[in-house]
Amino acid sequence: MDDAFDKELKDQLSRDPFPRRGFDARLRRRILERIDGKPERSGRFRGSSRMVPAYALSAFVVLLFGMGLWVWNGQHQGGTQEAKIQAPASAPLAETTAAPALPTTRYALLIGLREDTGSGATGTVSRYRTVLIAPQGSDPDRLELAADVAGLYMPYGQNFWEIAVNETADGRQALQAIQATGRKSVRADTALTGASIPDYLLNERVVYAGNRYLSIRSEVRDARGGIADNLWVKDIAQLGAARNDPAAEPHVALEELVPNAGNADPSGKRHEQWGISRIPGQWAAQTPGGDLLGVELPTEAVQHDQLTLSWEQIQRLEPGSLDAFTYGNMLGVVTNVGGIRVRTVRDGESVSDPVTVPLAKGETVVMIQWAQDPYVDRWIEAMRSFGGQQP
């Protein structure tokens, strides 16, 4: 990207977007008539005139405090999933998704869960499962638990990939991406060979999976025989790559996704080790030590990550929610009792019975993916086939 492109942009976009209409005499007259107290001629957006007092108030606030207090700033806030949501205003609202979906459009929610089952001889041992909550039949508001399958299945491209745990006889775990659907799909039991795991690697576990990226925490044996804790973000293609040097671990540096991320670091060093983890209402970039990096993750890394309901609405629908995710007409929450609850919502009101996905102690969300028609049935079919069910 160069200055020539910026010049082209400014040259072409300095013109108005349309050759006609826009702000014209007709609109100017309409505004002046409103000021003179005449009723609006156009009836289509009468709602806007009913909202004038609220706008006047918000304008007054803008004028009173200047323009720097706009709260829709997308900045990541601190906190963990364990901490109950205390500050509703800090949760970003979707920029473009405040409106509900078309009533006939069906959506499905795919959730990846990781359970750390304790510390084995070689460190943490993790198990995964993937659950799909989808409409039952053609009614978008009648949800069911369509699949609950062992293993982590991640949609990528037009296919599903299993993020499989490759385990050695002595209990060490490494992750490997295996295409689970499509022409090039293979069976995990034939693709996994514990022999390919380097000796220094003790375990790897998924912290985040989405789009083409995974955030992975690993423990490795260092040169002095100690154990080092690493946190990487990897492209799915880097998973399971041959490796023999912990210092040359394939990864995606933060600056490759967020070019200006290093600006805040006086040392100017790139963030080679970093991760994506869940905080209430969104995914956030963090350091290996768990500090939030305060950068905005691009849609290439994290999609559909903005709530379409306010925290007040979410807490009213699901008191005690610790985390929430929304898309289309669906709201999923992680509650402090009973696990994950998913329901459909229209105009801020619940319109379905919730589907509950109980969580085991220590089980955490590592993936949230959404589908909508026409992909919903394809996802149901694929997930049920992974679980050995009839589609």
One residue of 37, 47, 266, 358 binding another protein per CB under 8 A: 47
SS3 190: helix
Among the listed ranges 72-80, 191-199, 213-221, 361-369, the one in contact with another protein (CB under 8 A) is 72-80
Q: How far is the CB of 329 from another protein (least distance, A)?
A: 10
Closest of 276, 286, 283, 285 to residue 305, by C-alpha: 283
One residue of 4, 22, 41, 190 binding another protein per CB under 8 A: 22
Q: Is 19 in the site for another protein (CB under 8 A)?
A: yes
* 13 to 2, 4, 7, 23, 24: CA distances (angstroms): 17, 14, 10, 17, 19
- Contacting another protein within 359-388 (CB under 8 A): 372
Among the listed ranges 20-28, 124-132, 196-204, 277-285, the one in contact with another protein (CB under 8 A) is 20-28
- Please name the amino acid found at residue 301: A
Which residues, listed in sequence order, are joined to residue 109 by a DSSP beta bridge? Answer: 133, 370
- Contacting another protein within 302-321 (CB under 8 A): 304
CA 130 to chain centre: 15
SS3 31: helix
One residue of 109, 143, 295, 330 binding another protein per CB under 8 A: 295
Q: Is 150 in the site for another protein (CB under 8 A)?
A: no
| Beta carbons within 10 angstroms of residue 243's beta carbon | 16
Phi, then psi, of 92 in degrees rounded to 5:
-75, 140
Closest of 263, 266, 237, 267 to residue 252, by C-alpha: 237
CA distance 69 to 62: 8
**DSSP one-letter code for 304:** S
Among the listed ranges 4-12, 108-116, 204-212, 379-387, the one in contact with another protein (CB under 8 A) is 4-12
- Contacting another protein within 86-125 (CB under 8 A): 93, 95-102, 105
One residue of 3, 37, 43, 71 binding another protein per CB under 8 A: 71
Give how many residues touch another protein by CB under 8 A.
Answer: 75
CA distance 147 to 165: 20
Q: Is 51 in the site for another protein (CB under 8 A)?
A: yes
Among the listed ranges 16-24, 128-136, 270-278, 330-338, the one in contact with another protein (CB under 8 A) is 16-24
One residue of 3, 4, 14, 337 binding another protein per CB under 8 A: 14
- Contacting another protein within 187-206 (CB under 8 A): none
SS3 251: coil
Among the listed ranges 62-70, 78-86, 150-158, 224-232, the one in contact with another protein (CB under 8 A) is 62-70
